[in-house]
Amino acid sequence: MFWYHELTRHSYLSVRQNPNYLSWEDQPSVYKHYPESFERFLLDMEDEEDRFLFYSAGLTAKKSYPEGEYYLRINPSAGALYPNELYVQIRDVKGKRNGIYHYDVAENALVLLHALEEEAGLEPYLGYRHAMKGYLFLVSAIYYRSSWKYKKRALRYCLLDAGHLLGSIEASALLKPHATQLCYNMDRGSLNAMFGFGHKEWFLSAASVAVPISHSDVVPVQFSLPYAEGSGSFEKSDVIEEAYEETKVVHSCRKEVRAPKFTYETGMLQQTIFQRRSQRGFTGEAITKGQFHYLMEVLAQPILSDCDETVSVYTVVNRVLDMPLGLYKEGAYVKYGDFSRQAGYLCLEQYSLAEKGALTFFLTSKGGNYQALYQKAGIIGHRLYIAAGYLGLGCSGIGAYYDDEVNAFLENEEMVLYALAIGK
């Protein structure tokens, strides 16, 4: 097991011995803004391409509390801390200037960081030889936004949230429709340096919603951006920085070239993406067998990726009409019984989610590329959110669980990456 994962396991004792006290005066900002000197283009919701970007990562809801207002987004995020930033290279898209942009989510604007010359681009950093027509997204993390609350476990959340953002891009691209190809075999070191990130922000992954222009070879673009503050406050975490450095380069990757097939109707999918929220608690009502099989079908779809790691999905059936209760792995029985109470306990006693939901999922892996496998868990989680929403069901990600006790329950020794619950 990767040392970082082992070090950041929760147990019944650890969460009681090391409670997280939040220092509110150090609360980091969740928005990054480049200086006004950078040209910016507000997204126009009447424009199809701009809508594609908005449906990948935009702000969709406002919450008002006595201490202030905050906004929720297309993508879910552990603790609504939104550690990830989104950058995109746009090439040969109607109505858009070729360039590398930052998506300023608060302004709903694309900020031009670097205008592209015909023969240069980000492609070589992502392993592409030819120029790519369309969108090449880069996902980064500003880890202190998450470690402010989750301390050294925060790298897990940065990766899961990044996976959700990749999943949001994939879902938004389905509206076009266009396939999304994940890229982990990227030159993170050079990209981090060019974007002026220092050690506070770094790239985790890329996603291509683009096609190669076969006659057009491309050279690596070179530029040097000034550092732009992304969290306000900051406190260094040696553990997180070391874990990132050690996992920066991927090894022995297996490509997944099979494209997923989804049966979503475009209008309903768009509504599902726009209205997605995390359900705060379930009623304890059962779902139907048809709904269960629909979710299993979605889970069985491959994820296009240049570094595909095996992630196992365990499902605890708490209540599905006409189905025996128990633990399943990839749709097949592991053991019979009503484990709903136990599922609730394992998720740090979040009984209203993991006991009262109809299904509780646990995702595990023993893969070698930590950044790739963890983000894959986030993508799977996002596919579950979308599929559940599409069926009129609720979903919630669950990043907090007792790692070792989940292993004992599943009777496996893999790294436990993520839990989710779906229900009514």
Ligand X SMILES: Cc1cc2nc3c(=O)[nH]c(=O)nc-3n(C[C@H](O)[C@H](O)[C@H](O)COP(=O)(O)O)c2cc1C
Q: What is the DSSP string of 347-380?
A: TTT-HHHHTTSSEEEEEEE--S-HHHHHHHHHHH
Closest CB to ligand X among residues 81, 116: 81
CA 244, CA 203: separation in Å to the nearest integer? 10
Contact 141, 95 (CB under 8 A): no
Residue 355: both structure tokens together: 């006991």
For the CA atoms of 179, 182, 188, 193, the dihedral, rounded to the nearest 10 degrees, stands at: 30
In the window 170-189, what residues touch ligand X (CB under 6 A)? Answer: none
Pick from 375, 380, 350, 385: nearest CA to 362: 380
> Of residues 28, 99, 134, 397, which one binds ligand X by CB under 6 A?
397
CA 353, CA 40: separation in Å to the nearest integer? 41
> Of residues 85, 161, 170, 414, which one binds ligand X by CB under 6 A?
161
What number of chain residues touch ligand X (CB under 6 A)?
Answer: 18
Kindly state the smallest distance separating residue 395's Cβ from ligand X, in Å: 9
Site string for ligand X, 367-396 (x = CB under 6 A): -----------------------------x
Residue 160 in the binding site for ligand X (CB under 6 A)? yes
Closest CB to ligand X among residues 77, 185: 77
Closest CB to ligand X among residues 112, 363: 363
Which one-letter amino acid corresponds to residue 188?
Answer: R
Kindly state the smallest distance separating residue 344's Cβ from ligand X, in Å: 12
Residue 277 in the binding site for ligand X (CB under 6 A)? yes
Among the listed ranges 30-38, 70-78, 176-184, 306-314, the one in contact with ligand X (CB under 6 A) is 70-78
Residue 164 in the binding site for ligand X (CB under 6 A)? yes
> Of residues 15, 72, 225, 296, which one binds ligand X by CB under 6 A?
72
What ranges in 18-111 are assigned the alpha helix state H? Answer: 48-57
Kindly state the smallest distance separating residue 49's Cβ from ligand X, in Å: 24
Residue 80 in the binding site for ligand X (CB under 6 A)? yes
Pick from 114, 85, 109, 122: nearest CA to 97: 114
Cβ burial, residue 171 (10 Å; 0-12/13-18/19+): buried
What ranges in 110-180 are assigned the alpha helix state H? Answer: 144-150, 154-174
Closest CB to ligand X among residues 173, 420: 420
CA 115, CA 89: separation in Å to the nearest integer? 9
Residue 76 in the binding site for ligand X (CB under 6 A)? yes
Angle (deg, nearest 10), helices 370-390 and 266-275: 110
> Beta strand 415-423 with 394-398: parallel, antiparallel or unpaired?
antiparallel
In the window 4-43, what residues touch ligand X (CB under 6 A)? Answer: none
Kindly state the smallest distance separating residue 346's Cβ from ligand X, in Å: 12
Contact 353, 282 (CB under 8 A): yes
Tracing tokens 């990726």 back to the chain, one arrives at 305
Closest CB to ligand X among residues 83, 134: 83
Closest CB to ligand X among residues 192, 247: 247
CA-only gyration radius of the chain, Å: 21
Residue 98 in the binding site for ligand X (CB under 6 A)? no
Among the listed ranges 25-33, 69-77, 146-154, 226-234, the one in contact with ligand X (CB under 6 A) is 69-77
Kindly state the smallest distance separating residue 407's Cβ from ligand X, in Å: 18
Contact 353, 374 (CB under 8 A): no
Residue 77 in the binding site for ligand X (CB under 6 A)? yes
Site string for ligand X, 324-363 (x = CB under 6 A): --------------------------x-------------
Kindly state the smallest distance separating residue 396's Cβ from ligand X, in Å: 5
Closest CB to ligand X among residues 57, 132: 57
Site string for ligand X, 130-159 (x = CB under 6 A): ---------------------------x--
Residue 399 in the binding site for ligand X (CB under 6 A)? yes
CA 95, CA 49: separation in Å to the nearest integer? 9
> Of residues 400, 405, 412, 424, which one binds ligand X by CB under 6 A?
400
Answer whether the bond into residue 177 is a cis peptide, omega within 30°. yes
CA 285, CA 199: separation in Å to the nearest integer? 47
Residue 332: both structure tokens together: 């097949």
Closest CB to ligand X among residues 270, 278: 278
Kindly report the number of other CB atoms within 10 A of residue 275's CB atom: 10
- Residue ranges in contact with ligand X by CB under 6 A: 72, 76-80, 157, 160-161, 164, 277-278, 350, 396-400
